[in-house]
Amino acid sequence: MRKLIVSEFVTLDGVMQAPGGKDEDTDGGFQYGGWTIPYWHDDIGTRFEALLKDVDTLLLGRRTYVIHGEAFEPDPANDPFAGAKKYVVSKTLKKPVWRDTTIIRDNVVESIRQLKAQPGKHIFTDGSSQLVHTLIANDLVDELRLLVYPITLGIGKRVLPDGVHAKFALQSATPYPTGVVGLDYVRQHA
């Protein structure tokens, strides 16, 4: 069975909302978009490149999918991010904005279980807060890779859903010169 890996930028207080840009996601009056930018280090990019070598499928929520699609669609097909098979969970997306995309509209949990059972490399999810909550609540996440930033925001969408009990074991911890810490966890099943 394929691994489903969730990778997120997260603040010390668990916020994942709009890490890359000021107007990326202003839901709930969120005003702190782009909070990762002052802490970027090239080693963080190297971390993603290494992870994506073992990924051939992206699984995203609609908003994250559209943001990524607009940014990466022009990239060459041999680019590991742009060239991956894409699945987007959405009831509202009319047509794909990114090549090689399948829209999952119904039976989300069962569709993802079937996707994990197919042959292939790992499945990668980032952003996609609502989808990530569903994945964690339904025991579909095999690895959780967090880049924890040394900042608190006090408000915003959270990586981990309320009311879900799940156990993860720390696989590795990697500090970066800007104060970011990469924490890689593996899901522990009962």
Q: What is the pLDDT of residue 16?
A: 97
What's the mean pLDDT in 2-6? Answer: 97
pLDDT digits (tens, 9 = 90+) for 84-134: 999 999 999 999 988 899 999 999 999 999 999 999 999 999 999 999 999
> Given a cut of 90, is residue 190 above it in pLDDT?
no
> Rounded CA gap, 24 and 174, in Å?
27
**Where do the domains of the chain lie, and which CATH numbers do they carry?**
4-188 (3.40.430.10)
DSSP letter assigned to residue 28:
G
The predicted-structure confidence for 166-176, as pLDDT tens digits, reads as follows: 999 999 999 99
Average pLDDT score over the chain: 94
pLDDT digits (tens, 9 = 90+) for 30-41: 999 999 999 999
